[in-house]
Amino acid sequence: MRGKMTAITHHIPDALLAAYAAGSLPQPYALVVASHISLCLDCRATFDAHQAAGGAVLDTAERAHLSNGVKARVLEQLDAPVAPEPVFQRSGVFPGPVMEVLKGKPPRWRTVGGGVRQSILSATGEGSVRLLFIPPGQAVPDHSHNGLELTLVLQGSFSDETGRFGVGDMEVADEHLEHTPVADVGAPCICLAATDAPLRFRTLVPRLLQPLFRI
CATH number of the domain where residue 28 is located: 1.10.10
Q: Do 192 and 31 touch, CB atoms closer than 8 A?
A: yes
Q: Which residues pair with 145 in a beta bridge?
A: 199
Digit-coded pLDDT (tens) for 71-95? 555 555 544 444 555 565 666 899 9
Q: How many CA atoms lie within 13 A of 98 on its CB side?
A: 29
Tally of domains in the chain = 2
Residue 18 forms part of a structural domain: yes
Average pLDDT, the chain: 79
H helix or E strand, kind and range, residue 94: strand 94-95
Distance CA 192, CA 76 (A): 23
Least confident of 22-26, 55-59, 119-123, 150-154: 55-59
Spatial contact of 143 and 203, defined as CB atoms under 8 Å apart = no
Q: Is pTM, for the whole model, over 0.85? A: no
What is the percentage of the chain residues whose pLDDT exceeds 90? 44
Question: 156: left (phi > 0), else alpha (psi -120 to 50), else beta?
Answer: left
In this predicted structure, what is the pLDDT of residue 55?
Answer: 42
Contact residues for 59 (Cβ-Cβ < 8 A; gap 6+): 15
Q: Where are the alpha helices (DSSP H) in 68-135?
A: 68-76, 96-102
Q: Establish if 9 belongs to a structural domain.
A: no
pLDDT exceeds 70 at position 20: yes
Of 43, 59, 91, the residue at which a domain comes to its end is: 91
CA distance 104 to 55: 30
Contacts of 211 (CB under 8 A, 6+ apart): none
Domain that includes residue 155, residue range = 102-213
Residues comprising the chain, all counted: 215
Task: Note whether 21 and 78 are same-domain residues.
Answer: yes
CA gap 112, 97 in Å, rounded: 25
Instruction: Check residue 207 and give its pLDDT.
Output: 47
Whether residue 75 sits in one domain with residue 154: no
Residues 118 and 73 in one domain: no
Quote the CA–CA distance of 131 and 92 in Å, as a whole number: 14
List the CATH number of the domain containing 108: 2.60.120.10
Q: HEC string of 16-69?
A: HHHHHHCCCCCHHHHHHHHHHHHHCHHHHHHHHHHHHCCCCCCCCCCCCCCCHH
